[in-house]
Amino acid sequence: MAFRFRLLLAAGLLAAAAGLFIAGRLASPQQRQARAAGASLLPIGAGIEITGVDILGRGAGELRLRARDGGWQAQNGGRSFPASADRVLSLVSLASGLRRGALVTRDPARSAELGLGGREERLLVLHLAGRPELALEVGGRAPSGEEDYVRVRGEAAVHLVRGNLSVLLAQDRTYWYDLRVLPAEVQAQTMARITVRGSVDLGPAGVLKGGYTLLREGAERGGGWSMPGEGRPVDGIAVSALAGSLASLEGEDFLQAEPASAPAGGRLEIEVATMAGKAYQLRVRPGTGPGLALVSTSWSPWTYVLRAELLRRVVRPAAELLASR
23-74: pLDDT as tens digits: 444 444 444 444 455 789 999 877 788 999 999 985 456 899 999 988 999 9
Residue-range domains of the chain with CATH? 47-176 (no CATH), 188-321 (2.60.40)
pLDDT at 82: 94
Q: Which residue has the higher pLDDT, 118 or 310?
A: 310
**pLDDT exceeds 60 at position 3:** no
pLDDT tens-digit series, residues 176-190? 999 999 999 999 999
pLDDT at 232: 85
**pLDDT exceeds 70 at position 137:** yes
pLDDT tens-digit series, residues 237-285? 999 999 999 999 999 999 977 766 666 788 999 999 999 999 999 999 9
Give percent above pLDDT 90 in the chain. Answer: 65
Q: What is the mean pLDDT of residues 84-95?
A: 94
pLDDT at 163: 87
- Alpha helices per DSSP H over 195-255: 236-247
**pLDDT exceeds 80 at position 11:** no
**pLDDT exceeds 80 at position 21:** no
pLDDT at 309: 92
pLDDT at 117: 83
pTM above 0.85, yes or no: no
pLDDT tens-digit series, residues 202-233? 988 889 999 999 999 876 566 789 999 887 89
**Cβ atoms of 273 and 196 closer than 8 Å:** no
Q: What is the mean pLDDT of residues 291-298?
A: 93
Q: Which residue has the higher pLDDT, 69 or 137?
A: 137
- The mean predicted confidence, pLDDT, of the chain is 86
- Alpha helices per DSSP H over 28-84: 29-36
Nearest to 160, CA basis, from 169, 151, 171, 172: 151
User: What are the two backbone dihedrals, phi and then psi, of residue 129, each rounded to the nearest 5 degrees?
Assistant: -65, 115
Under DSSP, is residue 114 helix (H, G, I), strand (E, B) or coil? helix
Under DSSP, is residue 60 helix (H, G, I), strand (E, B) or coil? coil
The whole-angstrom separation of Cα 54 and Cα 95 is: 12
**pLDDT exceeds 90 at position 290:** no
